[in-house]
Amino acid sequence: MDIGIPELTDEQIEAVSQAAENAVRKHVFSKISQKLVEDLTVIIEAEGGKPVSFTVEVDLVLMPETKGLSEKELVQEAVKAAFDAIEKELRKLCPSTK
C-alpha cells in the first residue's frame, strides 16, 4: 500500500517497528494471561527505502493447559494488529493522507 510517505529515517523505522511489536504483545496478552505463554517471539523487518516494506513474524508457544485456544488464530490476529499499527504510524508521518 502506498500512502505517499517520504523515505524513512532509521529512527522512524525503529519507531514504526516498535509500535508493531507492542501491538502484537498487547493483542496476545489481551487474549491470554502472560503466565500461559511459554514463548512469544516477535520479529519486525523493514526493507527498501521508498517504498519501505515491513515483514512481521510472530512465533507463539502456549502452555499445555491452554487447550482449546488456537495458537495459529492468535498469531494471525496479532500479525493483523501489527500491520494496523504500522499503517497508523506511517500515516502519522504523512498527516495529509487520510
Per-residue pLDDT tens for 17-62? 999 999 999 999 999 999 999 999 999 999 877 778 899 999 999 9
Q: Which residues, 6 or more positions from 63, have their beta carbon under 8 angstroms from its beta carbon?
A: 35, 36, 37, 38
| pLDDT of 98 | 45
Quickly state the pLDDT bin for 5 (edges 50, 70, 90).
Answer: low
Radius of gyration (C-alpha) of the chain in whole angstroms? 15
Q: Which residues of 36-60 are buried (b: 16+ CB within 10 A; e: fewer)?
A: ebeebebebebeeeeebebebebeb
Sketch out the chain's domains with CATH numbers. 10-90 (3.30.300.100)
- Yes or no: say if 96 and 7 are a contact pair by the CB < 8 Å rule: no
